[in-house]
Structure 1
Amino acid sequence: MNSEDAFEFMNGLILEKTKISLNECERDVFLGIWASKTYGEISQEKNRDYQYVKETGPKLFKKIGTIFQINLNKNNFKPTIEQLYRQYTLRKISEISQRDDVITNLSIAQQDRPVYTDNPFIPLNDIITEQHQLFGREREITRVFETLNSGSSVALIGEKKIGKSSLLQAIYQQAPNRLLKPRKAIYLNLSLIFNDDDFYDELCNKVEIPVSKGRQLIRELQKQQLLLLLDEVQQMTWDGFTREFRQQLRGLADGQANPPLRLVIAASEHLDVLFPDSRDNPSPFQGVCIEEVIKPWGKNIVRGFIDSRLGNTQVSFTEEEIIKLIQGSGGHPQRLMYLCHRTYSRYMEGIKTAL
């Protein structure tokens, strides 16, 4: 087991037990200690404060030790994690060997219990707005708020349907509790906005100020402290959005210690590809937004997601089915949701037939 596999395994278990992922510094320390590096080497390699890294190590050992009730330190770190992995694997194999087809194993007692027929793998296409349904993105959300609280704006970059819009909704809902300096969160979906006028009209409506633009808008917004979340920001490459509009948006989000706007934007391509900066066509985000790349889930997060959705049902997917779901989805949340929905539906059809 290499360092990345070890981290993914442990982070998946911790996420399953606590609903919170290890943060980025904890990840760097985990991988560094696995590779037998000193705290000094880790801090230098990752460009982190040495004292902070040195303090993170013992806190990480204590966190893992408390969760799994083990004695963990720098010297026994790797063999202890490897032992946990072996125990987990053997337990899973035992569970699989004892598991028979859920349909033929329906006992009289089970038949007396209510059967949950509602498919838990939803929504299939919509943005997730119910926070209890959002899974496996706490690390990304934490990094976004760390960046915002450090004084920078953020760009969520990822392929279509990877979950950027759902992340924006989570940030929108969590902003009141996680921003160190309060800002009013405003969400705009640019797929429904086609030009400058549409944007100004919608923004002013959400901020509850008179519709305005230019200097008047600047004066109005300078009275505000806003967190502006822009979805489908690639729409701003359309001809309906002018050079002046881009410059004004940039000016409101940059160049001040505490600008009126702090941005969180979502796009399907990197910003230097979408908005190449030039004199004639200035980028509204160059040097303003720090990119956070949204990647597919790892296999342990996929397993945790499936377990969490099946928790209140009488259905359990077989190991073979789970492996196929991991491979078929590639860790892409929406594809995984669809494939799990289809697999669950087959189980329920079989149960209804058996009953």
Structure 2
Amino acid sequence: MLENPFTVRGTIQNPSDFIGRKAELLHIVTRLKTMQSCSVVGERRIGKSSLLYHLFQTGNERLNDSRFRFVYIELTDASAQTVVDFLQTVLQALNLPSDSIKDDNKPNRNLVAFDSAIKTMVASGTKVVLCLDEFEGLFANKQEFNDGFFNHLRSMINQRRLALVTASWKSLEVYAIEEKLTSPFFNLLSITELGDFTPEDVESFIDYYQPAVQFTAKELEFINWYSEPHPAKLQIFCDMILQWREQDWDNDTAKERIAKAYEILGGKHDWRKWKRNVAGILSCGSIKTWLENIKIARDLGTGI
């Protein structure tokens, strides 16, 4: 029985499984070269966490600079619920002493101690980049993560002692207004909007998995006409196509079940709006190549 690679959901942790997002990564990497900070903004399940984790894994290679040290922190995690926890987590990830950060210290003393520790790395030529996922998680504890905290973070960014790459549903300026925060930190980061896959990204996605799943001509046609370029929806779509193959659904049943599966992402879906008016999302050349490769593989397998 064919192993279905589309059932694995969540943050992509294998760098070779990460597909597309060339423009967004270029935008971020270009700014990190001069230690400028970025804010990745996009809807739920659009791939923000995977993008940040991929940057954490491949940042040095993309920058072609071994001096960079990347730290990835998910800010809804238990290790980042207070300022003390957050500061200690960062220092420990950088293999720096964290015992100067204490619960019984005044907040400013902890921030100064943190800054001093980072300065030691900067003095040795290291460039620190914090990849802070689900940044909105900080606003659940506004007493801890207040204007004083964000002002200090802004000072460190301005002095190039560290750079941030954050991920959130909405822009940081919107959160500042909603949470009544006045720190100028919130208009400091360059915004990188993360949306649907480009047509090239979709083709790269299918191309990556095609050798393993061997989509048929009928399945590729169905993908071409009815798939959406939203990364999570595309994965769900391909997952359901493989189920369709095993259970021999008709097109209407397949569309109904896929639409129902999409509802976990929020909202209703209308197939009439999805059908494209021109040639679909995949290029004819790619489809032809995939089908030719399937034929070659089958011919080799049968000895014809």
| TM-score of Structure 1 vs Structure 2, range by shorter chain | 0.5 to 0.7
Counterpart code for 1:159: E
How many angstroms apart in 2 are the aligned matches of 1:278 and 1:223? 34
Per-residue deviation, 1:317: 5.3
Aligned match of 2:185:
284
How many angstroms apart in 1 are the aligned matches of 2:207 and 2:214? 12
RMSD: 2.5
Q: Are the equivalent residues in 2 in contact too, given 1:315–1:347 (CA < 8 A)?
A: no
Partner of residue 345 from structure 1, selected from 236, 240, 243: 243
Counterpart code for 1:261: L
How many angstroms apart in 1 are the aligned matches of 2:26 and 2:7? 24
Q: Would the alpha carbon gap of residues 292 and 276 (structure 1) be closer, same or farther in structure 2, given more than 3 Å must change?
A: same
Counterpart code for 2:84: D
Q: Are the equivalent residues in 2 in contact too, given 1:120–1:310 (CA < 8 A)?
A: no
How many angstroms apart in 1 are the aligned matches of 2:204 and 2:115? 46
Number of residue pairs matched by the alignment = 228
Per-residue deviation, 1:343: 0.9
Is 1:265 paired with 2:166?
A: yes
Q: Higher mean Cα deviation, 214-223 or 201-210?
A: 201-210
Q: Are the equivalent residues in 1 in contact too, given 2:130–2:164 (CA < 8 A)?
A: yes
Mapping 1:79-94, distance limit 5 Å: none
Per-residue deviation, 1:336: 1.2
Q: Are the equivalent residues in 2 in contact too, given 1:186–1:228 (CA < 8 A)?
A: yes
Partner of residue 76 from structure 2, selected from 177, 191, 195: 191
How many angstroms apart in 1 are the aligned matches of 2:225 and 2:237? 9
Is 1:249 paired with 2:161?
A: no
Aligned match of 2:253:
none
How many angstroms apart in 2 are the aligned matches of 1:168 and 1:291? 14
Mapping 1:113-192, distance limit 5 Å: 117-124=2-9, 126-179=10-63, 181=65, 182-192=67-77
* Residues 114-169 of structure 1, C-alpha deviations (whole Å, 9 max, x = no match): xx611132422x10011111112122212211121144111111111100110111
Q: Are the equivalent residues in 2 in contact too, given 1:303–1:322 (CA < 8 A)?
A: no
TM-score (ref. length: structure 2): 0.68
How many angstroms apart in 1 are the aligned matches of 2:61 and 2:43? 29
Aligned match of 1:209:
96
Q: Percent identity?
A: 23
TM-score (ref. length: structure 1): 0.59
Partner of residue 134 from structure 2, selected from 216, 220, 232: 232
How many angstroms apart in 2 are the aligned matches of 1:308 and 1:279? 45
* Residues 14-57 of structure 1, C-alpha deviations (whole Å, 9 max, x = no match): xxxxxxxxxxxxxxxxxxxxxxxxxxxxxxxxxxxxxxxxxxxx
Q: SS at 1:191's partner residue? A: coil
Q: Are the equivalent residues in 1 in contact too, given 2:139–2:179 (CA < 8 A)?
A: no
Per-residue deviation, 1:280: 6.0
* Residues 182-224 of structure 1, C-alpha deviations (whole Å, 9 max, x = no match): 2211111101122212212211221222322222221111112
Q: Are the equivalent residues in 1 in contact too, given 2:76–2:138 (CA < 8 A)?
A: no
Structure 2 residue runs of 5 or longer lacking an equivalent are 102-109, 122-126, 249-304
Q: Would the alpha carbon gap of residues 220 and 281 (structure 1) be closer, same or farther in structure 2, given more than 3 Å must change?
A: same
Identify which of structures 1 and 2 has the higher relative contact order when contacts are C-alpha pairs closer than 8 Å and 6+ apart. Answer: 2
Q: Would the alpha carbon gap of residues 266 and 278 (structure 1) be closer, same or farther in structure 2, given more than 3 Å must change?
A: closer
Partner of residue 209 from structure 2, selected from 309, 316, 321: 309
Counterpart code for 1:315: F
How many angstroms apart in 2 are the aligned matches of 1:232 and 1:317? 40
Per-residue deviation, 1:300: 4.4
Aligned match of 1:78:
none
How many angstroms apart in 2 are the aligned matches of 1:249 and 1:317? 54
